[in-house]
């Protein structure tokens, strides 16, 4: 069992169901209208279904892939009816999201690398710093020694917020004044973590997409200074996205993956939106595993993402 598999509490599935309630209500309302009065899966149903998926923020690429698979199945079995559409759709959505990788999130590495270095990227306002704080708290609850790095030095609020989380989680933090060199903060964070024999390092970074070249250069510099101390660091680059922004989150994923190597995704604020379909689209389009999803404000509402749990919750009443 992977390290973060132990993060799932008994309440997780209930919280996931609750967090996806707005998305499910919207999606299945549209789906019911798409097949109203139809008994077979014909061209009209498929056209309507395509519109449902796209309007639910599943995304064009994932939608086309799903529709093509359903068309193929219908052509092979002429007797498939609309009453079977939901189960078919469930299967094809799961397939479009690739393999479930919730237990592959460097969990074995986490127990072998000392420390395990996680670089966290994302634009302002997506819940990046809060996600770092929640992860730090959960690592600490698992008995891990954690060090935070406040390398988003362009915003005083980001530094202050991370300090608050470090106090709350009772973990160490390296923070400097606003305007400091982010790579210097990252270097000092890893240096302290090595000295303290920490298990996990979480480094916050600034996310500014108005100048992708500067962003790329800054993240590359952070990587270089980390590798002076630990040649294979960082071991994970997590991109945090706000699911409630729908297709804007997809565009952010596109921009960040072009600017740096992203190895995992965190999708926040699923509980406050009907745009939860974006999880399907992003997972399908970029081939980058979703590591965590935020389904509420509580510390345990930042859940390890499991494709099967997500799809099951999505399709269950």
pLDDT number for residue 112: 61
Evaluate the omega torsion of the peptide bond into residue 115 and state whether it is cis, within 30 degrees of 0: yes
pLDDT number for residue 315: 84
pLDDT number for residue 106: 44
What is the rounded distance in angstroms from the CA atom of residue 124 to the CA atom of residue 241? Answer: 10
**Which burial class, exposed, middle or buried, applies to 226 when counting CB atoms under 10 A from its CB (0-12, 13-18, 19+)?**
buried
**Backbone dihedral region of 209: left (phi > 0), alpha (psi from -120 to 50 degrees) or beta?**
alpha
Average pLDDT on 152-160 reads 91
pLDDT number for residue 222: 95
Average pLDDT on 10-31 reads 84
Q: Mind listing the pLDDT tens digit for each residue in 78-96?
A: 667 778 888 889 999 888 8
Say which residue the tokens 């077979």 belong to.
Answer: 40
Q: Mind listing the pLDDT tens digit for each residue in 160-197?
A: 999 999 999 999 999 999 999 999 999 999 999 999 99
Say which residue the tokens 């393999």 belong to.
Answer: 99
- The three-state secondary structure class of 178 is coil
What is the rounded distance in angstroms from the CA atom of residue 205 to the CA atom of residue 102? Answer: 24
Neighbours of 308 (CB within 10 A): 11
Q: Are strands 302-304 and 290-294 parallel, antiparallel or unpaired?
A: antiparallel
| pTM recorded for the entire structure | 0.89
**Which burial class, exposed, middle or buried, applies to 88 when counting CB atoms under 10 A from its CB (0-12, 13-18, 19+)?**
middle
**pLDDT at residue 105 is higher than 50:** no
pLDDT number for residue 104: 43
- Cβ(66)–Cβ(89) under 8 Å? yes
pLDDT number for residue 28: 84
Q: Are strands 172-174 and 264-268 parallel, antiparallel or unpaired?
A: unpaired
């Amino acid at each position: 069992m992977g390290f973060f598999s132990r993060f799932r509490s008994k309440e997780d599935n209930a919280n996931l169901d609750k967090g996806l309630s707005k998305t499910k209500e919207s999606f299945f309302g549209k789906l019911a209208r798409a097949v109203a009065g139809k008994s077979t899966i014909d061209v009209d149903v498929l056209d309507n279904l395509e519109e449902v998926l796209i309007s639910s923020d599943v995304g064009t690429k994932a939608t086309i892939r799903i529709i093509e698979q359903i068309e193929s199945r219908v052509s092979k079995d002429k007797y498939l009816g609309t009453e079977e559409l939901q189960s078919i759709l469930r299967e094809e959505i799961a397939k479009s999201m690739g393999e479930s990788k919730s237990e592959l999130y460097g969990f074995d590495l986490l127990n072998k690398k000392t420390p395990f270095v996680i670089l966290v990227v994302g634009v302002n306002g997506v819940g990046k710093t809060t996600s770092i704080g929640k992860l730090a708290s959960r690592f600490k609850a698992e008995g891990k020694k954690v060090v935070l790095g406040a390398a988003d030095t362009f915003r005083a609020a980001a530094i202050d917020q991370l300090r608050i989380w470090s106090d709350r989680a009772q973990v160490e933090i390296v923070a400097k004044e606003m305007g400091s060199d982010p790579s210097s903060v990252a270097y000092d964070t890893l240096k302290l973590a090595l000295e303290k024999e920490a298990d996990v390092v979480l480094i916050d970074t600034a996310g500014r997409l108005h100048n992708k070249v500067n962003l790329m250069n800054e993240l590359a510099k952070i990587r270089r200074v980390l590798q002076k101390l630990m040649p294979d660091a960082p071991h994970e680059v997590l991109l945090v996205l706000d699911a409630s922004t729908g297709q804007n989150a997809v565009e952010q994923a596109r921009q960040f993956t072009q600017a740096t190597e992203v190895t995992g995704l965190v999708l926040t604020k699923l509980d406050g939106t009907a745009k939860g379909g974006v999880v399907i689209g992003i997972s399908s389009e970029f081939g980058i595993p979703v590591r965590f999803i935020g389904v509420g404000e509580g510390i345990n509402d930042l859940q390890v993402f499991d494709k099967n749990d997500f799809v099951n919750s999505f399709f269950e009443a």
